[in-house]
Structure 1
Amino acid sequence: MPDPAVERRTRKRQMTRQAISDVATRLFFERGFDGVTIDEIAQAADVGRMTVFNHFPRKEDLFFDREDAIRDAALTALRARDRATSPIQALRALAHRLIDTPDPTFPLFDGTCRFVQTALASEALKARARQMRDEFVQLLAAALVEDAAAPKDDPDAHLAAGLIAAAWTVAFMEAHKLFAEKDDLDAANRRFLALIDKGMAGVEAALAGSAYAGAA
């Protein structure tokens, strides 16, 4: 049976983390990522400097605070898929679910313009985004290897992971660009899914005959 005291501490920690994140996001949007210090975030959130670092080891983590949720969604889609569905098809289906049933915790386009603009204006954030993409590719490759019971250094798994990450990145950025220009969410969604579909078709063609393109 869950311990009520532990649950209270967990809720309090989650609330503190969210409050710090909300304050940091507001300041980053107002003044740019590089124009805000950790001390200013701590003061605005009414917490100590070390409390901020206890929740967010790096300043960049305050900005990309939803990265874990996005990564987990991809890995869950892979692991929980119907075994008649290939890993590549499962990640294509995830993109369609995110459009058909938007998740309020990480909207794809509506409400993300300031986020993307702030990220593109900071060399530190662009560098961290590249690092996170590389880390995700490694995690996805490991998950693909585990799923297929393949050798850890299977080059096909690393190729699949890299191509999937590239397809998602291009689809998101192109759809965001269209939304920023036209303020048309439906058009952005259509562009995102069209590029996802093309990208995943390309990945399946490149990996034809492998465990990653065929059904289990």
Structure 2
Amino acid sequence: MEEGLRERKKRETRQRIADIAMGLFLQRGFDNVTVAEVARTADVSVNTVFNYFRTKEDLFLDRSEESEDLLARAVRERRAGETAVEAVRRDFFEALGTGDWRYGMSEGLDLFTQRVRESEALQSRVRMLEVHREERLARTLAEDADADPDDLTPRLVAAQICAVVRTLTRHFAMRQMAGEDPPLIRADIRVHAERAFDLLERGIGDYCLRPEPGSLSLPQAGERSTPAPR
């Protein structure tokens, strides 16, 4: 009970610091706000801020851990009979339909993106986040498919999935920054996303299929189900 209350207080403190920091960053720009200002506004010490966030960039990207694990988690938690692509597709459209933040289709993405574009430090950090997300997805695919260490297929599949998600997210952000109405953009993104995931499924749709209980394993993408003719 004591431990539970203590952990909850830590989470609440961390979230309060992150929310205050993001408000300052969005209002004034990332490079124009110091950690000391964040600490002063949050009524905590600078050391307290760094106890919860290793770097200033972590204050801006306080959900980076969740974001890096986003696609790998969708694959790990996929349903029976569902491929990796199908799992990501379902998760993407669920987020799109609710306006959830995790795929960047939420209100305020335009200002968030603008602040990233203004800061070289944030641009570098976002690029690393995207690299880590792809690496995590590739590892998850390799583990679930029991791929050989020399098999590049998990990395190739991860790269294609990440490219689709990244392209759709950036398209949404650019149009929102241009002043278009988010609900209208989401409706258009839905059409683009259907097409994008259709292309993925035709190319790698059978890769990493989770068998139905009691069913035989199906061949992986690129494998032949019958011997090749001589």
Q: Deviations over 1:96-144 (max 9, x none)?
A: 1002233368862322221111111111111100011001110000011
Q: Matches of residues 141-180 of structure 1 in structure 2 within 5 Å?
A: 141-180=138-177
Report Cα offsets for 1:20-72 as digits up to 9, x if no partner: 10111111112211111112211211111121111111111111112223344
The one of 106, 113, 124 aligned to 1:116 = 113
- Is the 2:85–2:205 Cα contact (8 Å) retained in structure 1? no
- Check conservation: 1:109, 1:175, Cα contact below 8 A: no
| Aligned-partner Cα distance in 2 for 1:102–1:167 | 18
Identity of counterpart residues, as a percentage? 31
Is the aligned partner of 1:85 residue 2:55?
no
Name the counterpart of 1:125.
Answer: 122
Report the number of matched residues. Answer: 211
Q: Distance in 2 between matches of 1:58 and 1:38?
A: 9
Supply the AA of the counterpart residue of 2:159: G
Where in structure 1 are there 5+ consecutive unaligned residues?
Answer: none
Q: Does 1:9 align with 2:6?
A: yes
Unaligned 5+ runs, structure 2: 212-230
1:179–1:185: 8 Å Cα contact kept in structure 2? Answer: yes
TM-score, length-normalised on structure 1? 0.88
| Structure 1 residue 152 displacement after superposition | 3.6
Shift of 1:175: 1.4
1:42-53 matches, within 5 Å, as 42-53=39-50
Taking only aligned residues, the RMSD between alpha carbons, in angstroms, comes to: 2.1
Q: Which of these two proteins has the greater Rg computed from alpha carbons?
A: 2
Cα–Cα, structure 1 residues 183 and 156, in superposed 2: closer, same or farther, change >3 Å?
A: same
Q: Please give the secondary structure, in 1, of the residue aligned with 2:111.
A: helix
User: 1:93, CA displacement in angstroms?
Assistant: 1.0
Q: Note the alpha carbon deviations across 1:187-213, whole angstroms, 9 max, x for none.
A: 21123333333333333344366x34x
CA 1:194/1:67 → structure 2, altered by over 3 Å: closer, same or farther?
farther
Match of 1:54 in 2: 51
Kept after mapping to 1: 8 A contact 2:103/2:169: no
Give the TM-score taking structure 2 as reference length: 0.83
How much does 1:84 deviate?
A: 1.2
Check the 8 A contact 2:22/2:59 in 1, yes or no: yes
Q: Secondary structure at the match of 2:186?
A: helix
Structural mapping, 1:198-209, within 5 Å: 198-207=195-204
Conservation of the 8 A alpha-carbon contact between 1:24 and 1:62: yes
Which of the numbers 40, 61, 66 marks the counterpart of 1:64?
Answer: 61
Q: Which amino acid aligns with 1:11?
A: R
- In structure 2, do the counterparts of structure 1 residues 107 and 126 end up closer, same or farther at CA, with 3 Å as the change threshold? closer
Bigger Cα displacement from structure 2, 199-208 vs 166-175: 199-208
Match of 1:25 among 19, 22, 26: 22
